[in-house]
A and B are shown apart, each in its own frame.
Chain A
Amino acid sequence: NAGVMQNPRHLVRRRGQEARLRCSPMKGHSHVYWYRQLPEEGLKFMVYLQKENIIDESGMPKERFSAEFPKEGPSILRIQQVVRGDSAAYFCASSPSDRANTGELFFGEGSRLTVL
């Protein structure tokens, strides 16, 4: 059973470009989370999604950031017009329905975004 798959693992963008990060949850998991990790900081929650629905986006900046989890295909975290401050590791995690209300998460290896 494959784990949470994220791609790309590394992404370099110039200021003003768009970044798209993809996440395929573990098989059978319908809950997806995105976290951001900055150097010397912990994990900051961004958004929580279920299939075709954003459940909680309280941690995501209101501008330039968006997320989706379509019926078919991976979850996408999209950052428009990137700035240097967006440079970070972005982690996706998933959870099965029977454990989603406990907070137990299964993490991917992350996508590391560098903005030049």
Chain B
Amino acid sequence: AQSVTQPDIHITVSEGASLELRCNYSYGATPYLFWYVQSPGQGLQLLLKYFSGDTLVQGIKGFEAEFKRSQSSFNLRKPSVHWSDAAEYFCAVGAKGSYIPTFGRGTSLIVHP
């Protein structure tokens, strides 16, 4: 079975600073990887996904993530954070043939002006 670890529960950055949110997964084969964002009181919105191919994937809202097989990681990055990026971010892993993705605990992003 697959699992996901998001080691940071909270991350605080200043507006305009760069951001990296960590995600480590455990799965025996090549996983399907996702990042979702949840604004307060809202549902989850897909930011980006990795299925295969180029290990650097671009998503919406200026986010990108890099799949590193050797490190079992799929970290989310943004070069310059905006106040509106303050939200909860969830990493998820799916497995080929498995219909049920596993979610990490989430990382709460706080943006200081």
Contact = CB atoms under 8 A, between A and B. Distances in A.
A55 interface: yes
Interface in A69-116: 91, 93, 95, 100-110
A105 B45 CA distance: 9
B104 A42 contact: yes
B14 to A, nearest CB: 25
B43 A103 contact: no
A107 B45 contact: yes
Interface residues of B, number: 27
Interface residues of A, number: 26
B104 A105 contact: no
Contact of A104 (B41, B94, B97, B105): B94
Contact of B93 (A55, A100, A103): A103
Nearest to B95: A103
A31 interface: yes
Interface of A: 4, 6, 31, 33, 35, 41-43, 45, 48, 55-56, 91, 93, 95, 100-110
Interface in B62-92: 90, 92
Given A91-B44, A104-B32, A110-B43, A45 B90 contact: no
A105 B90 contact: no
B98 A103 contact: yes
Interface in B95-113: 95-106
B25 to A, nearest CB: 12
